[in-house]
Amino acid sequence: MNLLKKVAAAAAAAIAMVGSVTVATPALASDVLWINQDKVLSISNARTALSVDTPRGTVQIRYGTYNGVQYGWGRALNAPAGYTLVFEADTNGDRIMDEGATAYLTGSSAVWTWGASTSASSARAFRACILSSSQMSCSETSSRTGWW
């Protein structure tokens, strides 16, 4: 397991324990820009790219423009408390998470993650999922979107 996956796994476990929101980003050189949840919520032209109804609620990839830059983020609708919304960003085209953001689900109607900048490159892709406390990545659940 590489260092990034270990950091992401530790972050997901910590979130599940303390019920807070965090962003797990690697200490690697990357051109991905991140905005926090308040900035994501302020985006007025938000659109849904992917939406999947699952037994754990609806999980979505959303996108929109903030200060002239397009961002994508994960959103969960009507998901039960005790799960974690995970937003995975692939930056090199291998469709394995390189960076990510998480949000602890509290049973509210809508929860969203931080947003990551999109790219014209097909190497950049996003997916989102709803994980139980024993799961560490979107690869481990069927409660997920495809890559967008």
Residue 54 belongs to a domain: yes
Residue 145 belongs to a domain: no
Residue 93 belongs to a domain: yes
pLDDT at 107: 87
Q: Could you give the number of structural domains in the chain?
A: 1
Q: Tens digits of per-residue pLDDT, 89-126?
A: 999 999 999 999 999 999 888 999 999 999 999 999 99
Share of the chain above pLDDT 70, in %: 80
Parent domain of 45: 3-140
Residue 74 belongs to a domain: yes
Residue 100 belongs to a domain: yes
Residue 108 belongs to a domain: yes
- What mean pLDDT value characterizes the chain? 85
Q: Looking at the predicted structure, is the pLDDT value of residue 73 above 50? A: yes
Are the C-beta atoms of residues 126 and 95 closer than 8 Å to each other? no
Residue 147 belongs to a domain: no
Write a three-state SS string for the chain: CCHHHHHHHHHHHHHHHHCCCEEECCCCCCCCCEECHHHHHCCCCCEEEEEEEECCEEEEEEEEEECCEEEEEEEEECCCCCCEEEEEEECCCCCCCCEEEEEECCCCCEEECCEEECCCCCCCEEEEEEECCCCCCHHHCCCECCCC
Q: Looking at the predicted structure, is the pLDDT value of residue 17 above 80? A: no
pTM of the model: 0.81
Residue 146 belongs to a domain: no
